[in-house]
Amino acid sequence: MTPEAQGRRPAVANHWLLVLCLVGLDYFSTLAYLPSLAVAAAGNLAPLAALAVVLVTVCLALPAYAYVVGRSPGGRGAAGLLEQVLPGWGGKILVLTLLGFAAADFVITRSLSLADAATHVTHNSHGQAVLGRLSPAAEWLRPWLGAERMAQLETLFSRQVIITLGLTVLSLAFWQLLQRGFTRKILYLAAAVVTMYLAVVGIVVGSGLIYLSAHPELWRAWWNSVEQVAPGGSIGKHPFLSVAALSLLALWAFPQLALGLSGFELTMTITPLVRGAINDAPEDARQRVRNTRKLLCAAVAIMSVFLLGSVFVTTLLVPRDALASGGLAKDRALAYLAHGGVLSSGEPATALNGWFGSVFGSLFDLSTVVVLSLAGASVVMGLREMLPHYLHRLGMALTWAGQTGVIMHLLNAIILVVTLVFQASLSAQQWAYATSVLVLLAGAALAAGVDVYRRWRISSVRWLATAPFAITCAFFLTMTAVTAFTHSSGVVIALTFVVTIVLTSFISRWLRSTELRFEGFSFSDEATRIRWEGICGREFQIVAPHRPGLTSVAEKHLAIQREFRLSASTPVLFVEATLGDPSEFYQQPRIEIHDEQGREVVRVSKCASISHVLASLCLALCRPDGRPPEVIFGWSNERPLAANLNFLLLGEGNIPWMVRELVRRAIPDVRSQPRILIG
């Protein structure tokens, strides 16, 4: 077992309701800003757009995720399932692309959430008082920097940016705890934070809905505004066309409301944290899968109710000028109501609930700031489990990185940079966030669809079973294209991660090309293993790699005897190595041994690199007290550059030279090294 695999920490299993609160740190925290974004994107049609988000979640995302959880109970999620169904470099590149978007998702989740937390701090009276006391502290820089540089610094480091950076630094303590794993104490903390947050949000939304039920004129006024959009100014005149038109308008606003799915996009990775039945086998874990599916359904149900309620309340009760840029309700509509802000009817929000005001508003802000500061926890779970695993399999040694937490520290540093680049603006980052969310959702649907297609053998049923996932993938990819066309920042950030990962992995493979990359042999059966041990115990032998299809083993044997002047009685061990998945870095080849007309042929399959497998065979045949074996190769007409590229990418090329180099590094004593002959 490799060091990276040995260093992986086992997950602590917990009741699914407790893990649901961990998901809620990401998923439910979007309620802090999503109602404001919904009204800004769709106006009076915001409740219909929110309904579209709910329907997409229930009808498209949830079935795909429920399927992937069942096929990947170990928590690898869509990336792990794609790797299984799409082997080779194509699958690896696709997985790396998803990992790049997952890393971008984490960075934007943290940056955007903290930016909105800073907005809640700046609009709170207690927060303003603290900031007022801290402001004079920066004045001592003015004499040193001068007026011009001080003005430039104030432009770059606005109050919003400074507060966001401060919250980022303060929240790093929580992420440092996560380096030790998701312990039960962290889950209890998440449960307390999410429960408090949902309680105060529920009070605001519930109070607003009760108020609206007592004022039907507000509902009628809103419905009249919706009907004005319908063909003919009334839904009753052209019901089909009206529903179609309103649906298209709601879907047009969907990319901006895709954040309603954020936090849900990586919930598959929390499966190892969910407790199953006591008698569940690790490779089965059916009860754990069922409990994870309960978690997904519960999360969607809670979010659907809160999302629809909060958007309705915001659309009908919060004045439009308050939601506009610079308004008091901008990116904090529910907090605006909790503080007792003025309603669209002109009444204070205390008409909704007598509790609303400075005290309740401060409690609302506190719970919101805490939940937003901790947002990204389930994404961390995914990155901790997936990123080192896949990078390790591509040839990157990450034992030291996992022990020091350097990956998370690097991502946290990138968060600070992104905060400065986007000036801690929520509206500037929402498009990048939506892009990452939509790509990850499309990846889950693609993984589910490809897996179903490969599993079903009957063609008619196969297409019928695959169609829902294909539609889901096509929908999310279309929404991704619309989002990327509108604002390309999300694609740029994600592709930067992807290109960096791919380049560093290729450089790492090149630097580590002379490592043996060997994890032991597997055997077709016990008799083969015993026979192989007997072959390894022989005094001296000649090994001849043979490529099937060019010549027969008998013809190869005669050619070797003629060219190397061997007697007919000299035994030769023929090796036929079959390339498996060359994109894998480490390998565990499978051995079968056959007799062909009295000649012993060792057939090795599942090879990631022919050179490394042949070198491993040579080293296994070496005896400390005997004469080392001789390996006879034929000449190759391959060009040097093509041979090197074939070796790095396809596991072939430069075979004799690489076998000699691997053997030389493994056995420094020249007298004990197997002899490499080319003829």
Query: How far are the Cα atoms of 73, 95, 299, 643 from residue 19, in angstroms, in the given order?
Result: 15, 26, 10, 51
What is the rounded CA–CA span in Å between residue 37 and residue 35?
Answer: 5
- DSSP, residue by residue, 554-566: HHHHHHHHHHTT-
Query: How far are the Cα atoms of 133, 157, 281, 469, 506 from residue 144, in angstroms, in the given order?
Result: 21, 17, 67, 62, 47
Surface-to-core class of residue 669, CB atoms within 10 Å of its CB (0-12 exposed, 13-18 middle, 19+ buried): exposed
Task: In the chain, count H helices and then E strands.
Answer: 29, 7
> Is 70 exceeded by the pLDDT of residue 2?
no
Other CB atoms within 10 A of residue 301 CB: 13
* Token pair belonging to 651: 């596991």
What is the rounded CA–CA span in Å between residue 676 and residue 254?
Answer: 64
Domains of the chain in sequence order:
3-509 (1.20.1740.10), 522-678 (3.40.50)
Lowest model confidence (mean pLDDT) among 427-436, 481-490, 502-511: 502-511
Give the model confidence (pLDDT) of 155-177 as tens digits: 656 777 888 888 887 777 666 66
Q: Is the dihedral of CA 31, 33, 37, 39 positive or negative?
A: positive
Q: What is the pLDDT of residue 8?
A: 45
Q: What is the pLDDT of residue 333?
A: 93
Q: What is the pLDDT of residue 242?
A: 66
Q: What is the pLDDT of residue 256?
A: 80
Other CB atoms within 10 A of residue 176 CB: 13
Q: Report which of residues 104 and 284 the model is more confident about.
A: 104
Q: What is the pLDDT of residue 652?
A: 61
Give the model confidence (pLDDT) of 617-673 as tens digits: 888 888 777 778 888 876 665 555 555 555 555 556 567 777 888 888 888 877 777
Per DSSP bridges, beta strands 599-607 and 590-596 are: antiparallel
- Per-residue pLDDT, averaged over 328-337, amounts to 92
- Per-residue pLDDT, averaged over 210-237, amounts to 79
Angle subtended by helix axes 610-621 and 526-536, to nearest 10: 60
Percent of the chain with pLDDT over 70: 81
> Is 60 exceeded by the pLDDT of residue 140?
no
Lowest model confidence (mean pLDDT) among 59-63, 408-412, 417-421, 664-668: 408-412
Angle at 157 between CA 154 and CA 158, to 5 degrees: 75
Query: How far are the Cα atoms of 61, 243, 307, 309, 485 from residue 249, in angstroms, in the given order?
Result: 21, 10, 18, 20, 18
324-333, 408-417, 603-612, 658-667, range with greatest mean pLDDT: 324-333
> Is 80 exceeded by the pLDDT of residue 303?
yes
Q: Is the dihedral of CA 60, 63, 67, 72 positive or negative?
A: positive
Q: What is the pLDDT of residue 59?
A: 93
Residues 6+ apart with CB under 8 A from 509: 394, 395, 585, 648
Q: What is the pLDDT of residue 136?
A: 56
Beta bridge partners of 587: 518
Q: What is the pLDDT of residue 369?
A: 92
Give the model confidence (pLDDT) of 567-576 as tens digits: 777 788 888 8
Tokens 């197997």, located at residue = 674
Closest CA to 85 of 415, 76, 16: 76
What is the rounded CA–CA span in Å between residue 433 and residue 386?
Answer: 20
Q: What is the pLDDT of residue 163?
A: 84
Other CB atoms within 10 A of residue 577 CB: 26
> Is 70 exceeded by the pLDDT of residue 406?
no
Determine the 3-state secondary structure of 303 from DSSP.
Answer: helix
Contact 375, 26 (CB under 8 A): yes
What is the rounded CA–CA span in Å between residue 619 and residue 642?
Answer: 27
Q: What is the pLDDT of residue 413?
A: 78
Give the model confidence (pLDDT) of 246-270 as tens digits: 777 777 788 888 888 887 877 777 8
**Confidence label for 6 from pLDDT (cuts 50, 70 and 90):** very low
Q: What is the pLDDT of residue 114?
A: 87
Angle at 392 between CA 389 and CA 398, to 5 degrees: 100
Q: Is the dihedral of CA 85, 89, 93, 99 positive or negative?
A: positive
Q: Report which of residues 102 and 238 the model is more confident about.
A: 102
Give the model confidence (pLDDT) of 437-453 as tens digits: 899 999 999 999 999 98
661 half-sphere exposure, CB direction, 13 A CA radius: 12
Closest CA to 111 of 382, 420, 472: 420
What is the rounded CA–CA span in Å between residue 22 and residue 597?
Answer: 64
> Is 90 exceeded by the pLDDT of residue 488?
no
Contact 605, 652 (CB under 8 A): no
3-state helix, strand, coil in the chain (%, to 5): 70, 5, 25
Other CB atoms within 10 A of residue 147 CB: 9
Cα-only R_g, the chain = 31
Q: What is the pLDDT of residue 150?
A: 55
Closest CA to 50 of 264, 268, 253, 199: 253
Closest CA to 570 of 630, 621, 659: 630
Please provide the average confidence, as pLDDT, over all residues in the chain: 80
Percent of the chain with pLDDT over 90: 21
> Is 60 exceeded by the pLDDT of residue 283?
no
> Is 70 exceeded by the pLDDT of residue 585?
yes
